[in-house]
Structure 1
Amino acid sequence: MIYIKSIERRNPQDVDADNKYYAKAISQGVIDFERLAYLVSNQCTVRESDCYAVLRALEHNIIDELKQGKVVQLGGIGNLQMGVKSNGEILSEDVSSNSVKNAHMNFRAGTKLREMLGILKYKLITG
């Protein structure tokens, strides 16, 4: 269940337009590696400490592979890939590492996540 609340927003492209109300998803908390390791260990024969070690190793390797410019595929979860924002240059040969303003993460949801998005249920929180 995804909890939502109503929030008022103005139109940044038309500051004279009336504000409108939009649904905003409300977080129901955070789950950390320790909790994930506990949950996974209860679903299989692997101990919690082993699950935690695997998650930490996964974290390390994902970061390392992304630093090398690779796309990291996480099965049905999706893919992670580095992207960059850069200054526009007049000539192609003027583009260099100095053109890069910053890096960001691109995430493309995999099949299982896209399917999950299609069947979500929502509940409005009032107050």
Structure 2
Amino acid sequence: MSIKFKVLLRKNPQDILAPEKFYAAAIADGETDLEKLAELISYQCTVTEADCYAVLMSLEHNIISELNEGRIVKLGRLGNFQVGLSSEGKETAEEVTSSVIKKNRILFRPGKKLRTLLSTLTYRKAS
């Protein structure tokens, strides 16, 4: 298997005045939702599909709850989730308040097996 990519003409976000260049962009080849993951997992063990789905839904609920409390969620070999943010720079520490936060996001740091996957991928240009 290989990852499909397409070619896109884009501006350089570091220098928007620079001429546009062509870049490769990955193309998703479908999607897998929690129901499909539950089905796949149930075929690989003795747990029913419904039980797998219930556990995955509970996992999602608890990841959200723990991130909301500001905690890092460590999922063992899978990786870690954490809230990250970007803010405006200020001259003094006292000037830094929640009002200078510009953007927030969920950070995911993959575990070793997921990082290794990236070094084994092959790519093919979509036709």
Q: TM-score, normalised by structure 2?
A: 0.87
> What fraction of aligned residue pairs are identical, expressed as a percent?
47
Unaligned runs of 5+ in 2: none
Give the superposition deviation at 1:16: 5.5
Bigger Cα displacement from structure 2, 35-44 vs 104-113 = 104-113
**CA distance in structure 1 between the partners assigned to 2:93 and 2:6 by the alignment:** 47
**CA distance in structure 2 between the partners assigned to 1:62 and 1:31 by the alignment:** 19
Q: 1:67 to 1:11 in 2, by over 3 A?
A: closer
Give the superposition deviation at 1:91: 1.5
**2:117 aligned residue:** 116
Paired amino acid for 2:36: R
Number of equivalenced pairs: 125
Q: CA RMSD in A?
A: 1.8
**CA distance in structure 1 between the partners assigned to 2:121 and 2:71 by the alignment:** 31
**1:47 aligned residue:** 48
Give the superposition deviation at 1:97: 2.6
Correspondence list, 1:19-58, <5 A: 19-58=20-59
Q: 1:23 to 1:67 in 2, by over 3 A?
A: same
